[in-house]
Structure 1
Amino acid sequence: MERMIEVLHESRLANVFEIVGEGRTASTLLVSVVWDDGKSRRTYFKMFHKSLPLGLLNEITGYLLAKSCGLPLPTHAGIIKVPKGLIENQDDFLPHAFVVSEAPGKTPTTICQLTDPITNQQLNAVMGMLRDWPKLNDTIAFDDWAANTDRNLQNIVVDGPGKIYLIDHSNLPVKPNWSASDLQPHEKYRNILVDILQIVQDGKLPQKRAIAVAATQHSDAYNNIIDELEYWWEQFLSADSSRRKAIDDFLRIRAADGHSRLSSNFYLMAV
């Protein structure tokens, strides 16, 4: 089976350009990577601290689920062994990094030069970029399904009207270091895009019916990608049967119940 997530040898790391993100739990570099098609691409190289052991798996899971939903993502994603001596304190990080090709465009926070707490005026500017995006409802439904509670303005990339890409899924499902007990299939989780829409639309959400309808695709999307998901879950969770079972049950049940769950959350009659 040909997999979407590429497994790359460390020799595929061609150049390191700069550090673009450095925090307590992850460090991200902008690099050049030679992918399996032989082409070199600007790529984000994300290393997770050992205190975040599920970060790499979360990224893989999120990428595969979103890809199966037909959402716009960077074209290539994979894992690569971190070469020795790449960064200081490397022993504090997981031995493999998540790599994803660079998507065209900029984050709304960069476009709007947001450095202080976001204002309503700035939110309106950001929503002007998102409002006519054909995949907005599908993305909100996806974030509800996968319990992605961290769709902030730094993990979407805008490349012009209607051209928006999704990045960074290390915090799903629910939270970065989720446990089996955290994954409650019938729970209502925070959806940040819904929060933003309601703020700029005076508390209203005229899209709610379309969002609920978008959730009807999730069972098919899950079934279409389950073979690769199971492969990676087995690689990372083979020694943790409770987590392994929990993530499968969580996503499968939420996929099947998405339409009714969102209709209930939005106080809709059957649609």
Structure 2
Amino acid sequence: MSTQLADLPARPLGPQGVIWYAAADVRALVAVIRLLVHQVAHPMVGAGVGEHSVYKTDPWGRLLRTTNSVVSSVYGGVDAAVEGQRLLRMHAQIKGVDAAGRRYHALDPDAYAWVHATAYEGTRLFLLEAGPGLTDAQDEQLFTEWRRLGLLIGVRDSALPRTRAEFWELWDRTLPQLENNPVVQDLLWSAPTAPPYVPQKLVDLASAPVLRRQREVMAVTLDPALRARIGLPEPTDRVRRRVQRTMRLMRLGNGLPERVRHNPLTWRTAARTAADPRLGPEPVRYP
């Protein structure tokens, strides 16, 4: 590899870390729309996605590209910084004026940092509710890895909280700014466009229970004010019990090897990075 560790803005993520365990876990799909809702409810992010993304016309292609980007960033070792530069170039062109007359830019430091912030909050929730849990040391390790990953993908150092306490201050400060918008509603209620040669009615039928369960997870786990703002009802006791059962079922997979839990697109990249002697394992092994 031609890239040198000394040239990178942060040390790439290595094997046996917290994010390495969680980032490609197929079980996390149960909460993926929750993560996306937090992102696109940000006024700048929602405007950029609504006017520039192909999430409606090419949802499967976008999903594949997003998955490949996560794999490169988390499991790519020194190549993570290359992916970060690609992301910066791609987002540089996403700008404009939203329906309320507000200017937006995908590389606005606070908006770009917010998208990354949702990854720490979402990963933490997944590991606490459906994964092996987090000790305080593991949570600190997760935060440290998350911060390094942010630097690798081009988030400004000045926009990244330096401590977990600062992170939650940022989170609580940003939540009241989040808005309902058409992209949020699409994520909550709309099935993706069917791929070629697949009937749309079939995709609608298959998507309905998945979307319903995603909304239930959000109703139980979202900040109550944000939940009400985007039009989700307060969860009933029955819904809460159903979400708890879902989380218990997901925890059955905690002992499975990465080869089983992880998206297959991860395997080759992760194996190559794990063999790179320059990286080594993370200081706190998870779980």
TM (normalized to structure 1)?
0.33
Q: Which has the higher helix share?
A: 2
Q: Which has the higher strand share?
A: 1
